Amino acid sequence: MSSTADRRTDVLRAIVSDYIASHEPVGSKTLVDRHSLGVSSATIRNDMAVLEAEGFIVQPHTSSGRIPTEKGYRHFVDSIEEITPLSRAQRRAIQAFLEGAVDLDDVLRRAVRLLSQLTRQVAVVQYPVLGSCTVRHLEVVSLAPTRLLLVLITDTGRVDQRTVELAAPLTDGDLSELRTLLSEAVADKRLSEASKALTATPERARPDYRDAAERCVTVLVETLVEQPDDRIVLGGTANLTRSAADFDGSLRSVLEALEEQVVILRLLSAAQSVGMGGPGGVTVQIGEETRAAEIRGASVVSSVYGSERQMLGGMGVLGPTRMDYPGTIASVAAVAHYVGEILSGH
C-alpha cells in the first residue's frame, strides 16, 4: 500500500474515532489539532474528498465536517490489526464475578450484566443450544396419576421440563421401569444421538407401560431434540435510549426485534457460521450486513462460547453503528472466554 493510501486510512481511523467519541461531524482542522498526521489541513481536506468520493465518509447537510458511512466503519474494523485486551484487573474481576454464579441461569444473567456494563450497549447471550449438548440425566416424576414430568439436564447445566399426559395411571413398578428405560436410552449421549436411541425405546417396554413410553418419547423427540427451544437473555436494553438519535427513527423496531428474539437468534447463528471480520474469534456485522430491516442502523458484535471441542452458543452486543468497536470486541471476547471456561468445566 502506498504512503498516500496509508495516510488516508489513518485519516479515516481518526474520523471514525473522533465521531464515535463526540457524535459530532469531524473537520480537517480538528484532525490536524488532535492527531499527529504530519500533513497540512489542505492535504487532509484532499484526503477527505477522496474518502468521500469512495463512499467511506459523508458530509451531513448541517455541517462542513464528515461522518463515517457503514462502509467506513467496515474499513475501520477490518484495519484493526490487534485488539488491546482488557487489563489484568478487569479480567480478574470478570472471572470472579462469573465464578460466583450458582447455576446456568445465573451464569448467563451475570454475563449479560457484565457485557452491558462494559460496553454500554444491549447485551445478548444465547442459552446453550440443546443440539450441541450431552444428556447428563433424565428424570421422570409422577405429578398426578395420569401426568408425568420429564426433567432433562445437560452437561452445560441446562434444565428443560416437559409434562406428559397418560391414558391410564402407572403402577410404581411400571414408573420405575419406564424411568430406567428412558434414562439408559439418553444418558451420556449428544441430543442428536439420543433422539435415535429414543425412537427404539417403546419396542423394549412391556405392554403394561408401552403406551406411556411412546408418549414420553414423542414429547422428548419433538420438543427437546427436533425443535430445540432456543432462548436468549437480554441486558442493558435501556442503553439504547442514549443512542436514540443514531437510529434515525427506527429505535422502536429495534426494541421490538429484541423483544421477539427471532432476529437476534438468527444473527447469532449467522455469526457462528459465517465469521465476517473481527480478530479474536469475534464477528462484527455493521448496519446492512445484518440483513435485518428490523434493526436498521445497528451493529452486532458477537462471538461463540464453549470449548475447542464444543461450541455451546453465541453472545454479543447490539448497538448503533457509532460504537467503540475495539473496546466492544475486547469485552465480548473476554466474557465469552470466561463463560466458556465455566460452562465447559461445569
Give me the pLDDT at residue 130, please.
65
1 pLDDT band (50/70/90 cuts)?
very low
| Residue 221 clears pLDDT 90, i.e. is over it | no
Give me the pLDDT at residue 223, please.
65
pTM over 0.85: no
| Residue 62 clears pLDDT 80, i.e. is over it | no
Judge contact between 5 and 308, C-beta under 8 A.
no
* Distances, alpha carbon 241 to alpha carbons 18, 21, 112, 244, in Å: 21, 17, 18, 5
pLDDT digits (tens, 9 = 90+) for 21-38: 988 999 988 898 898 888
| Rounded Cα gap, residues 301 and 123, in angstroms | 10
pLDDT digits (tens, 9 = 90+) for 242-268: 888 888 768 888 888 888 888 888 888
| CATH of span 131-225 | 3.30.390.10
Instruction: Determine how β-strand 283-286 pairs with β-strand 232-235.
Output: unpaired
Give me the pLDDT at residue 109, please.
93
User: Using CA of residue 232, residue 235, residue 237, residue 239, what is the dihedral sign?
Assistant: negative
Mean pLDDT computed over every residue of the chain: 86
Q: What CATH architecture is 3-71?
A: Orthogonal Bundle (1.10)
Fold classification of 88-129+230-344 (topology level): Beta-Lactamase (3.30.450)
| Rounded Cα gap, residues 100 and 89, in angstroms | 17
Residue ranges covered by each domain of the chain: 3-71, 88-129+230-344, 131-225
Judge if 3-71 and 88-129+230-344 fold alike in CATH terms.
Answer: no
